[in-house]
Amino acid sequence: MADPSEALDAMSGHVSALEAAITSGRSKHISASVVQPIARAIATTYFESVRTDLEAVQNRRGLVEEIDFVVQSILQLATSSRERRAYVGQIAELRPYLLEATVDLMKARGTPRLVLSKIERAILETLGAMLPSTAASYEQALRDITQGARVSWRGTATELRETLREVMDHLAPDEKVTAAAGFQLEPDQTRPTQKQKVRFILRARRSSSAAVDEAVATLARSTYQRGSASAHIGASGREIKNLKLYVDALLAELLEIA
């Protein structure tokens, strides 16, 4: 079943079948043989045809994990005879999650799907918790690149540049950098440079050599300058994609994403 919305409808039908199965008799306990095939159908439909698409479009973080937990709980219940009320509780918990999932999938049909790599997802989630507005800038850049065929990439370059700058400013505020032992402003500067901020962040961790710190700091400065140039004079889609690769590498290092 290729369409996730149709698969979700089928899953809801299986849930209704499970509810009918546990309410049809008078016994306090439900035999595994009655519910196990239905529980497996719920899990198979969800994990094979719904979960991946839903994870990409969910509007509320945690929705997929909540459905995972309930579906797995139903599977566990179906391994042996259980009290009827155990299933009633799980079904009552699952239904609003399925409704929320249905709405998210319907909304996603009107916009191009954003498929994220492991690193992109980790960066976006970390930024969402740390700097929501910066996460929005990064996500906009991802969507621009995914959609392609833009008349101008200047806005995308600005989003990437500002994402990098805001992360550096957050992790290395000017007052903390200037208060560090041995700090000196570079010639003709009135505040710490991006290179000095990155050095500060990496040295605070004491997890890499001075040579590595210097190399990353230099890369950060050159990447920021490259982003500024692209924002001001324009750049091609290929140049923006290359810029994003550098930005991703730096964000993964600064945010300690493995």
Q: What does pLDDT average to in each consecutive run of 10 residues of the chain (258 residues)?
A: 83 92 84 93 95 89 94 94 91 93 82 74 91 91 81 85 90 92 89 87 71 68 69 72 87 86
| Ramachandran angles phi, psi of 226, nearest 5° | -65, -40
Q: Are residues 130 and 245 both part of a single domain?
A: yes
Residue 143, in any domain of the structure: yes
Looking at residue 112, what is its pLDDT?
Answer: 58
Q: Look at phi and psi of residue 34 and say left if phi exceeds 0, alpha if psi is from -120 to 50, else beta.
A: alpha
Residues near 44 by beta carbon (within 8 Å), at least 6 away in sequence: none
Q: Are residues 220 and 161 both part of a single domain?
A: yes
- The two structure tokens encoding residue 97: 């999650």
Looking at residue 231, what is its pLDDT?
Answer: 62
Looking at residue 173, what is its pLDDT?
Answer: 93
Final residue of a structural domain among 88, 108, 128:
108
Residue 113, in any domain of the structure: no
Looking at residue 91, what is its pLDDT?
Answer: 93
Looking at residue 79, what is its pLDDT?
Answer: 93
Residue 26, in any domain of the structure: yes
To 10 degrees, what angle do helices 32-49 and 4-23 make? 170
Final residue of a structural domain among 54, 80, 108:
108
Quote the domain boundaries for residue 15.
Answer: 4-108
Q: Are residues 131 and 239 both part of a single domain?
A: yes
